[in-house]
Structure 1
Amino acid sequence: MNRTKEIWMSGFALFSMFFGAGNLILPPLLGFKALDQWLIVALGFAITAVVIPIMAIYAHAKLQGTLYDFGKKVSPLFSTVYCVLIYIIAIALPAPRTASVTHEMAIQPFFETPTLLTSTIYFLLVLVFVLNRSKVLSIIGKFLTPLIVLILLLIISIGIFSDASIANSGVSGAPLVDGILEGYQTFDAVGGVVVGAVLIISLNLRGHNGFEEKKELIKKSGLIAGTGLFVIYAGLIVVGALYSSYFPSDIDRTALLAGLSLETLGSIGRTFLSVLVALACFTTAVGIITGTADYFKGLFGNSQKAYITTGVIGCVIGIIVGSYNVGFIIDIALPALMFIYPITIILILLNTVPSKWASPLVFKTVVLATFIFSIPDFLKFLVNPKQLEPIVNSIPLAQHSLGWVLPALAAFILTNLFQKTSTARSDS
């Protein structure tokens, strides 16, 4: 295959595996609420939904292993536990959510069928793709992604060049933080460490064995996917801001996206959106289940039986959880996100910086600091937030659910200084 064509195909496949349910329904409501602050919100959203996930792909290019390699410098036990948690969360929340969004936006407007029927048919089709592992990247990159991009660009272009205008000013006191935290809900940082491993294995199956060759291909594919994600996110956010006066203030995420497609594409917009939602969600579900099955296949001695069993279990969980509504799945995901996201972000960042600044000791101290100072962020969803106020008020940025950021940075700097000083003393 032509090298340039393969880079673009892999980039499209990455984009498609990232671009799922949350990526569709979250940005428009962000813009809808942000109004004239939409650009600041878009930049915040891009940090956790574009920059960090693409850095995960770059880390995969550097490591060219599995998700286990992301945390092994902390300890083998930590990395194993982290991997299992990531994959359990991935198949229990973002993968089923794709079926729920598909039902609410692509099936429910046309048919009065139960959500359980949708999620059952949906994950049976996902399983077909998962079991045809070697063809996943090719099918997604060649056929599905171009359709997704075309429909989205139509909605965004018509929306931006319409007569709609932003009528009011945004009232958020921290639009950048709003964007950053909403980016958590895309699961894209988790997606980056999961689907990056899918890309590595797919390239190996296609005969790419050279380290530097794969590294270049992965980096360029990541750049294509990241650029596409940012353009689409920013476009959906600004369209949400432009059409803010067209909808009631209490509109939910799925209803807003449906309304925007109707306003921009007319009556045919609903049909277009149905196709878009089904394609975008489906490719993400395939990427998540495939990545999870790949991991457990490796964990059990490259066992094809383990791969098939994991794929089946993942799809059964998808059928059950995917039968609930989108709002419910988003709500139950928040504690898990606040727990796993900070650690995931830190592992991605540590695996992208030069190795001389990311020794095993640095990994240990930074991950430990991140874990300790992110505890209040997920505890507030499990206990009365007022009980945590004294702790939250004493930690910088904790009021914005980012209390782990400065301690992690301090741990990184201080540990590196300590190691540099120790090395200098031993040399003298």
Structure 2
Amino acid sequence: MSKKNLDIIIIGFAIFATFFGAGNLIFPPYLGVLAGEKWYIAFAGFLVGDVVLSVLAVIVSCKYQTKGIGVLSRVGEKFSTIMGCIMLACIGPLMSIPRTGATTFEISILPLMPDANPIVFSVIFFAITLVLTVRPSKVVDNVGKFLTPALLIALAVLIIKGFLTPLGDARPDPYIDDLFATGLTQGYQTMDAFGGTIIAFLVMASIVGKGYLDKKEQISMIGKAGLVAGICLAVVYGGLCIVGTMVSMQYGADVEQTALVVAITGALLGNGGKVLLGIIIALACLTTAVGTTSAVAQFFAGVFNNKIKYEWLVIGFCVFSAIISNFGVNTIIQFSGPILSVIYPIVVAMILLSIFTEKIQNDNVFRFAAYMALLVSILTLAGVPVMQKLPLASFGLNWLIPVIVAAIVGFFVPSKKKEAVKEGGL
């Protein structure tokens, strides 16, 4: 195998592992319970809402030559910087990074060691994160070469055991009616597209660090690495979903998702299942912590023109995350969740428009769409009744039609900036 192809596989593995957190492990089996024999319909929706959108976010983000969040750049420099900082702060040290430590402790450590000290664990967890993250050019290699294979092996043990010794028959009648729509909604609501725009920093740093400087070659490699990541995600999600169908006669729609995964693992592997589940959760969370910490640190280093060194940002984020993680998963989500729910529709809208960024000459298409998404999101969060009457509101997509209308209006409003954004690296 050529060095280039090997690098693509390693980068693809790193993208997969950064996306695959503890939450991604929990939902597919539950989707299998809900859908039963018709799991493939709901799963197709989940693939579109999560995998396709997330991988697409990585690819289109890498088209832009900018220090900020690339998909936001055509809205305007100030908007991109402000929204980017809020978004990265929430998904980084305020939410996602500390949540990885808290989740690992609550699911992997406490069931096996009930008397474990959360403070001691958080120090150990983020010390490991720091060691694996402090050298930006090595982050992808650390994740792609070592952590991801270990994670995939652990997942393969669980899934293959489920196939070899099925726990039961799939329920013939699903618990839900709109199978595809439910899968699409759940995939969308994972907010993994956020991760795609952030992982782009990590991916580009790795590609440049490996000596690939030609822009077209970079984009080609990113596309292929994204395909590797997408296939891995689809196979793992699909396997977990099918395993879930095998207990769809035993559990109902009201089953708690984390308890379902614990029960399935225990039924398949006995007491050893707790250990395996703990390993899977720990590896999933660690890979996400490493990838996200590195990407967020690179973003803020760029915002501050490297006046604050990447290494110091990594240290600061790890220390801060170790402290915040001790507040617990639920507290962390309650704090940052509403902010992310406001920004996420903007990011998704910009990702979709960025597919055609070379064709769209008028920046007002992006500006009008972004501000409409922001307005609808704020009004939805504020509980304005009319927002729930908009089309697709039941799927969490009430912003979509207004954004399309706003983008069309923006197309007919002349923009001061005539040049289209050129392709390039981050």
Deviation at 1:140, TM superposition (A): 1.0
In structure 2, C-alpha distance between the alignment counterparts of 1:390 and 1:186, rounded to whole Å: 25
- Deviation digits for residues 351-409 of structure 1, max 9, x if unmatched? 221422263111111112222222343334xxxxxxx334422x212243211011112
Q: Structure 1, unaligned stretches of length 5 or more?
A: 381-387, 424-428
Displacement of 1:36 in angstroms is 4.2
Question: 407, 410, 426: which one pairs with 1:412?
Answer: 407
Which stretch shows the higher mean deviation, 46-55 or 80-89?
A: 46-55
Aligned counterpart, 2:195: 191
Match in the other structure for 1:9: 10
Q: Report deviation, 1:300.
A: 1.9
> Aligned-residue CA RMSD in angstroms?
2.5
Q: Which moved more, 1:2-11 or 1:351-360?
A: 351-360
* Map 1:134-283 → 2, pairs under 5 A: 134-161=137-164, 162=166, 164-167=168-171, 169-247=173-251, 250-283=254-287
Tell me by how many angstroms 1:185 deviates: 4.8
Distance change in 2, residues 1:175/1:320 (3 Å): farther
The percent identity for this pair of structures is 32
Correspondent of 1:396 among 385, 391, 400: 391
- Structure 2: which 5+ residue stretches go unaligned? 419-426
Deviation at 1:228, TM superposition (A): 1.1
Kept after mapping to 1: 8 A contact 2:136/2:205: no
Instruction: Show the counterpart of 2:101.
Output: 99
Deviation at 1:250? Answer: 4.6
C-alpha distance in 1 between matches for 2:103 and 2:207: 30
CA shift at 1:413, angstroms? 3.6
User: Which residue type is aligned with residue 16 of structure 1?
Assistant: A
Map of 1:377 onto structure 2 = 380
What is the aligned partner in structure 2 of residue 31 from structure 1? Answer: 32
Counterpart pick for 2:324 among 321, 324, 335: 321
- The amino acid across from 2:391 in the alignment is P
Letter in 2 for 1:98: T
CA distance in 2 between counterparts of 1:349 and 1:111 reads: 45
Counterpart contact for 2:126–2:322, Cα < 8 Å: yes
The residue type equivalent to 2:404 in the other structure is: L
Change (3 A) 1:115 1:241: farther
User: Which residue is equivalent to 1:385?
Assistant: none
Structure with a larger share of its residues in helix: 1
| Rounded Cα–Cα distance in structure 2 between residues aligned with 1:139 and 1:391 | 45
- The answer to whether the 8 A contact 1:65-1:200 is kept is no
If the length of structure 2 is used for normalisation, what is the TM-score?
Answer: 0.88
CA–CA distance in structure 2, aligned partners of residues 50 and 14 of structure 1: 11
* Map of 2:64 onto structure 1: 63
Structure 1 pair 359/260, CA: closer, same or farther in 2 (3 Å)? farther
Is the counterpart of residue 20 in structure 1 residue 24 in structure 2?
no
> What secondary structure does 1:356 align onto?
coil
Residue type at the aligned position of 2:242: V
Q: Which amino acid aligns with 1:364?
A: R
Q: Shift in Å at residue 280 of structure 1?
A: 1.3
- C-alpha distance in 2, partners of 1:32/1:239? 9
TM superposition shift of 1:200: 0.3
Deviation, 1:88, is 0.7
The 1:370–1:249 alpha-carbon spacing in structure 2 relative to 1, beyond 3 Å, is closer
Offset of residue 249 of structure 1: 5.8
The 1:119–1:30 alpha-carbon spacing in structure 2 relative to 1, beyond 3 Å, is farther
CA contact 2:167–2:247 (8 Å) conserved in 1? no
